[in-house]
Structure 1
Amino acid sequence: MRPILIPTDFSENALNAIKFALELFKYERSAFYFLHTYEDRVYNNPDLTRGNVQEISDAVHAQVMEKLNDTLEFVNKISPNPRHEYHIVAANNALVDEADKLVKAHNMDIIVMGTRGETNDPKVVFGSHTLQVLKYVPCPVLAIPEHYKYTQPKQVLFPTNLLIPYKRRELKLLCQMVAPYRAKIDVLYVSKSKQLSLRQEDNLNFIKDVVCKNDIKLITDNNPDVTTAIEAYLKANKTDMLVMVNTRQSFFETMLMQSAVAKMTLHVGIPLLVMQNLRR
């Protein structure tokens, strides 16, 4: 049974991510956990006083549970899949803290969420909650752009410097996600030199060994800017999913560190799987 966490703020973006996850994992025995956290709604409530915190918390909790049950009813209606089981979680907590707690408690394989939430600011690539989960929760995150209609992931782009000692569990996740669709995975190596070091060759062979059910092709690009190279590939090739790794000195971490979210140039219009190369 694959445990999957899906945070929701009940927005259209969140609902779209739910639909995508149900379709993507339709062939797998999976346990979906639909999570909503409401700490902000309690402590930013204009009627909040020192003496009525619990009263407001209880009222908000009841409202959230009603919406989560509506979500559950909707999910059961559109995806009565005997391979799936569904759970709802309402928590008076910050999203990143509760997500981290649930990931550890249920040994979650993946978190699926929209790239932007209820505020849906078109000037940013990732909403603040999505960005926090991407950066701080030690679990792979699949971020779904708003309005993205489900497409089978048959062509996957995996940019990497081939220097990271990848986690077998996360590579297997990628393999198992896209293997039912006979996906082709292009490993994009951006460097002025086409010659791989022994370490890089070992890591490439490790990827090929673990992701053995999929066709893997190494593509080299001497573009001096990683982000530009990725965008150029996406423009030239029909791609259904982008895979990146979040770790120190990775492409993804570099992009997050070098620019504010509102100024990021990598506007991903396809699902983005961020693997967390962190100890779990």
Structure 2
Amino acid sequence: MKKILIPTDFSDNAWFATKYVLNLFSSEECEFFFLHSTKIGVSMASNISKKLTNVMRENAITDLKHLQERAEKVDSNSKHTFKISESGHDLEQAIEITIENHQIDLVVMGTKGASGLKEVLLGSNTINVINKINDCPVLAVPIMVDILMPEDIGFPSDFNRLYKSELLNPIKGMAKISNSIVRIMHINTEGELSAEQQKNLDALTMYLYRSNVKTSYHLMSNYADKTREIVDFIFDFDIDILAMIRYKHSFLEKLLHEPVIKKLGHHLEIPFLIIPE
């Protein structure tokens, strides 16, 4: 059974992400955990009594129960079950504890529509989670994205290291449940791949092939504007989910440090899967 954690602030963004992931895993046995953190900032905490804090936590539990009822009402899938959890820890710590206690397979978070990836790259709760959670992949879902099964998963890579199977499992799993093709994308900065890069590419495609996952390889010209390059890749191949692996000096980390990538969020309206090493 797959275990999926959905942190929620009871916003439309969080609810839309819930609907998206319910559809994505409609064929899978899943246990969904709704998590809400009632932790407040230190400056505010000093002005709030313990009694008021308890009221806030009681209200959060009530809202979580309503959310669970809402999810059970819209999702009659017998393969799905729902649980709720309220935490007095800050969001990142609450997520870490839940991942460890319940062996969570995926964290799903809602973002703000067309600026969804911008929110991931520029800050917000989502980027904090991405930076601090090292034991579980995170799927950021922009509000109002089409709730359809993905057909094309984009996977940019620099091929500078050999990926372990556990890092590729989230991509493989999503591709298999939706019968998607994984489109492997590489920005051509070297002229041609080194022997090491070619070996890593071959190992990647062979692993996915043996897993019965369809793949294609796309060598992109080296633009000065990396934002435009990824946007062109996404639109040229109708990418439904963009997946990246986060590790030190990885392609994703390089992009996160390029100021030009900030513009990407204005063009991108697809879910973004981040897999920590």
Under a length normalisation based on structure 1, what TM-score does the superposition of the two structures give? 0.88
Structure 1 residues 122 and 187, CA gap change in structure 2 (3 angstroms): closer
Q: Identify unmatched segments of 5+ residues in structure 2.
A: none
Partner of 1:266: 264
More helix by share: 2
CA deviation after TM superposition for structure 1 residue 46, in Å:
8.3
Partner of 2:180: 183
Q: Distance in 2 between matches of 1:38 and 1:164?
A: 40
Which of 117, 125, 150 aligns to 2:119? It is: 125
Deviation per residue, 1:25-67 (Å, 9 max, x gap)? 111111111111011179626851xxx32x2221111100111
Which of 68, 72, 94 aligns to 2:68? It is: 72
Structure 1 residues 147 and 42, CA gap change in structure 2 (3 angstroms): farther
Q: Distance in 2 between matches of 1:248 and 1:196?
A: 21
- Report the number of matched residues: 269
Kindly indicate whether the alpha-carbon contact (under 8 Å) linking 1:191 and 1:222 is maintained by their aligned counterparts in 2.
yes
- Larger mean CA deviation between 182-191 and 247-256 belongs to 247-256
CA deviation after TM superposition for structure 1 residue 197, in Å:
2.4
The DSSP-based 3-state class of the residue aligned with 2:108 is: strand
Amino acid at match of 2:53: S
Partner of 1:35: 35
Q: Distance in 2 between matches of 1:67 and 1:36?
A: 9
The DSSP-based 3-state class of the residue aligned with 1:125 is: helix
Partner of 1:5: 5
Q: Distance in 1 between matches of 2:168 and 2:14?
A: 26
Q: Distance in 2 between matches of 1:116 and 1:41?
A: 23
The DSSP-based 3-state class of the residue aligned with 2:4 is: strand
Structure 1 residues 175 and 103, CA gap change in structure 2 (3 angstroms): same
Kindly indicate whether the alpha-carbon contact (under 8 Å) linking 1:57 and 1:92 is maintained by their aligned counterparts in 2.
no
Q: Distance in 2 between matches of 1:11 and 1:223?
A: 39
Partner of 2:111: 115
The DSSP-based 3-state class of the residue aligned with 2:119 is: coil
CA deviation after TM superposition for structure 1 residue 116, in Å:
4.0
Partner of 1:89: 85
* RMSD after superposition: 2.4
Query: Percent of aligned positions with the same letter in both sequences?
Result: 27
Q: Distance in 1 between matches of 2:117 and 2:250?
A: 24
